[in-house]
Amino acid sequence: MIHTVISGGASGIGEALARRLARSGQRVSILDRTPSTACPWWAELDESSRGTWVVVDIAERAAVAAAIDEIASVAIDGLVTCAGIASRENVLEVTEDDFDRTLAINLGGTVAAVQAVARHLVASGRPGSIVTVASTAGIGYVSGLGLAYHASKAAVLGVTWSTAGDLAKHGIRVNAIAPGVVRTPMTVPQRDAQGESRLGRRAPAGRLAEPDELAAAAAWLLSPASGLTTGHVLPVDGGQVASAGAPITGYEPSPIDTRDSPHLARRTA
Ligand code: NAD
């Protein structure tokens, strides 16, 4: 039975993936700060699909390694790193706390899980597939998302490329998905503020993504059907990235008007 670990599997894209993999008869284990008791859908999965659920802060490298050791009592075949937070403070606002926490979770948490799973895969001599979860904000500018979020998601792509290169000789593939705007708990504030149809119209496809559309892309990258695909970044974004080269979409423009900038005024005076 294929065994996949999902970080951030309690909610949103990770939950949709856990359900999808379980439906196809796979075993799923989860790392999340949220306990399984808060997720009634977990108990509804087939018992053979329910692996280990470990409550852990993904930013705690040693705790993540210990959790993966526990999960690996049943050999691991794959990992998808969904755990992440949004942050919206731009360059003029961003605090040290916001920067450090966002990087610790989105980047540090990705590295912690990837490293621990990669070590198990290599030690076991098994091939495997790792899928990181970046964002269109890791590829270009998305108005309304913050400096730390952009930096963390761009760095996730660096982790993906570096890891794909180093692990290929072990038969381990590493790819990234880059979601646009997805209908998950993370985007409730934007959807409430702007309305879903308005948000959706900003991508050429004209609508938001459903969590299972991201899960389907990750499931393909996990599967042997994508056997020669590694080091790839797959936007699942309704065409946002393709349409402009950079996804300046998804959120209201910043209220900051650079025409009022004192620096600009000085330069043009
Ligand atoms: P979500 O909030 O529904 O799920 C995120 C999960 O990560 C939750 O279960 C949460 O408990 C877990 N998590 C957060 N911080 C954690 C921590 N410190 N330790 C352990 N678990 C933690 O959000 P989602 O939309 O499903 O997001 C999944 C991933 O997709 C994130 O990395 C996000 O940045 C990325 N993404 C989402 C969108 C979108 O529009 N929803 C767009 C681009 C990228």
pLDDT tens-digit map of 130-181: 999 999 999 998 888 999 999 999 999 999 999 999 999 999 999 999 999 9
Token output for 235: 């936007």
Q: Which pLDDT does position 244 carry in this prediction? A: 61
Cα(12) to centroid of ligand 1, in Å?
Answer: 7
Cα–Cα dist 148/101, whole Å: 9
Task: Using the predicted structure, report yes or no on whether residue 240 has a pLDDT greater than 50.
Answer: yes
Closest residue (by CA) to atom 34 of ligand 1? 84
Question: What average pLDDT score do residues 33-59 get?
Answer: 98
pTM: 0.93
Task: Compute the Cα dihedral for 251, 255, 259, 262 and give only its sign.
Answer: negative
- Residue 251 designated active-site: no
Confidence at residue 243, expressed as pLDDT on a 0 to 100 scale: 82
| Neighbouring-strand partners of residue 28 | 4, 50
Q: Which residue ranges have their beta carbon within 6 Å of ligand 1?
A: 8, 10-14, 32-34, 57-59, 82-85, 105, 133, 135, 179, 181-182, 184-187
- Please state the atom number of ligand 1 nearest to the C-alpha of residue 14: 26
Query: What ligand 1 atom has the least distance to the C-alpha of 214?
Result: 30
Q: Which residues contact 116 (CB under 8 A, 6 or more apart)?
A: 64, 65, 67, 68, 69
- Return the structure tokens found at 114: 């990837």
Structure tokens at 218: 């990750």
Q: What residue type is 258 in one-letter code?
A: T
The CATH architecture assigned to 3-268 reads 3-Layer(aba) Sandwich (3.40)
Candidate list 53, 99, 149, 251, residue with the active-site label: 149
Instruction: Please say whether the beta carbons of 36 and 9 come within 8 A.
Output: no
> Which ligand 1 atom lies nearest to the CA of residue 136?
43
What residue owns the CA closest to ligand 1's atom 15?
84
Residue located nearest, by CA, to atom 23 of ligand 1:
186
Is 62 or 262 the better-scoring residue by pLDDT?
62
Using the mean position of ligand 1's atoms as its centre, give its distance from the Cα of residue 128 in Å. Answer: 23
Q: Of ligand 1's atoms, which has the minimum distance to the CA of residue 185? A: 3
Instruction: Report how far residue 231's alpha carbon sits from residue 172's, in angstroms, rounded to the nearest whole number.
Output: 11
Of the ranges 24-38, 191-205, 228-242, which one carries the lowest mean pLDDT score? 191-205
* Residue where the block lists tokens 């670990």: 5
Q: Given a cut of 60, is residue 21 above it in pLDDT? A: yes
Query: Domain segments of the chain: what residues?
Result: 3-268
Give pairs for 151-154: CB < 8 Å, separation 24+.
151/99, 151/102, 151/103, 151/107, 152/84, 152/102, 152/103, 152/105, 152/106, 152/107, 153/106, 153/178
Per-residue model confidence (pLDDT) at position 201: 80
